[in-house]
Amino acid sequence: MLPTFAETVETHKAMVYSILWHFLRDRSLAEELAQEVFLELHQSWKSVKSSRHLVFWLRRVTTHRAIDLVRKRKIRPEMSLEESGEPTALEQLHDSFLASYLGRMVASLPEKQRMLVVLRYQEEMELEEIARVLGMNVSTVKTQIGRALELLRAKTTHRLKPNEG
């Protein structure tokens, strides 16, 4: 049995908001778009068949709206991979700072790779599920995630390497 609309908002707001926040790296924009996604869900409520379909619907609409917004407004990541600042010694010590640094690095990835990484590591989705949500081939998803990880790992290793000498 399907939950009510209000229960759905309560249950899935963190998922929708976090996908948008990690992808857009702009809290007010993420909140605004998350609201729009739920409004759209309310309008399509009758077409939702099951709880599983509901989650699929939310992930699909959220990811597509986010990518559309970035393309339409030509939003650029806050910084490029090259520009992302050196973490301080403190950042090297604390996980929360490392998480923040990695979040910024993810935000600087190209849009498709960024969304793939968010779905894979935030939502812990299987490659097949990601492919279905984004309408891509499983092999492309796998390759793109591999490339994104390689890029992130290389940059992070370089940045976080203890200063020599």
Partner 1 sequence: MTRFEEQLKQALARQDPPEDFNARVLAAVEECRVRRSTGAWRWRARWAHSWQLAPALAALLALSLGAIYQQHQRIARGEAAKEKLLVAMRVAGAKLHEARDRVSKVEAMEVQ
Binding of partner 1 by 57 (CB under 8 A): no
Least Å distance, CB 35 to partner 1, is 5
Binding of partner 1 by 24 (CB under 8 A): no
Q: Which helix (H) or strand (E) segment is 69 a member of?
A: helix 51-73
Report the site for partner 1 in 106-145 (rule: CB under 8 A).
106, 117-118, 121-122, 124
> Which stretch, 2-10, 49-57, 59-67, 133-141, contacts partner 1 (CB under 8 A)?
2-10
Residue 36, amino acid: E
Rounded to whole angstroms, the Cα distance separating 136 from 131 reads 5
Instruction: List the helix and strand counts (H, then E) for the chain.
Output: 8, 0
Any idea what the Cα angle at residue 66 is, between residues 153 and 100, rounded to 5°?
A: 35
Rounded to whole angstroms, the Cα distance separating 95 from 101 reads 10
Nearer to partner 1, 32 or 68 (CB): 32
- By the criterion CB under 8 A, which residues form the site for partner 1? 5-6, 9-10, 13-15, 17-18, 21-22, 30-31, 34-35, 38-39, 42-43, 95, 98-103, 106, 117-118, 121-122, 124, 149, 152-153, 156
